[in-house]
Amino acid sequence: MTQTDEKSSVIRAQLIPLSNMTMVLPNTCIAEVISLGELNPVKKTPRWFLGMMNWRGVRIPVISFEAANNIASNMPMHNVRATILNGINGNDKLPFYGMVSQGIPRLTRLDKSAISVIETPEQKLPLASGYAQLADVSVVIPDLNKVEALLATEIRKIK
């Protein structure tokens, strides 16, 4: 195997702990992970839309991935983080957004050959593009296009 082949088979990713599952995202999707600061609630938004927060001088929406997938979450309010994601759809009204996580995401290097796709997950989520087994961790792969489309609909209503 050449050095180029070896590099292309490894993905730098972060395992993001949620209260009921673990999400995996490529490292390039994540701008920063911070302690969840003060959220400004927005009236007449779904329960998954937790509010707006100030991040680096920008007002960004913060969501719960679990609530957006209709999963009840008993997330304790200690150790809660906001994983700030880079918008991927080029929407200038949504260049960044936050997703709450329970604890600190863990940087990992995934070898594509060590990822086992889960064809029939225990629970199918509307905002997931797939499911995988990474060594001893089952993970959900979010469909960020769907997440951002859902979020963009709410942003249009409040601005």
- Secondary structure of the chain in HEC code, one letter for each residue: CCHHHHHHCEEEEEEEECCCCEEEEEHHHEEEEEECCCCECCCCCCCCEEEEEEECCEEEEEECHHHHCCCCCCCCCCCEEEEEEECCCCCCCCCEEEEEEECCCEEEEEEHHHEEECCCCCCCCCCEEEEEEECCEEEEEECHHHHHHHHHHHHHHHC
Residue 72 pLDDT? 79
For tokens 């200690």, name the residue: 78
pLDDT score for 139: 93
Domain ranges for the chain, please list them.
Answer: 3-158
For position 78, what pLDDT does the model report?
Answer: 67
Q: Residue 111: its pLDDT value, please?
A: 84
Q: Which CATH class is domain 3-158?
A: mainly beta
pTM, full prediction? 0.88
Query: What is the chain's pLDDT, residue by residue, as a tens digit (159 residues)?
Result: 444 445 568 889 999 999 889 999 999 999 999 999 889 999 999 999 999 999 999 999 999 999 999 987 665 666 789 999 999 988 888 999 999 999 889 999 988 777 888 887 777 899 999 999 988 889 999 999 999 999 999 988 885
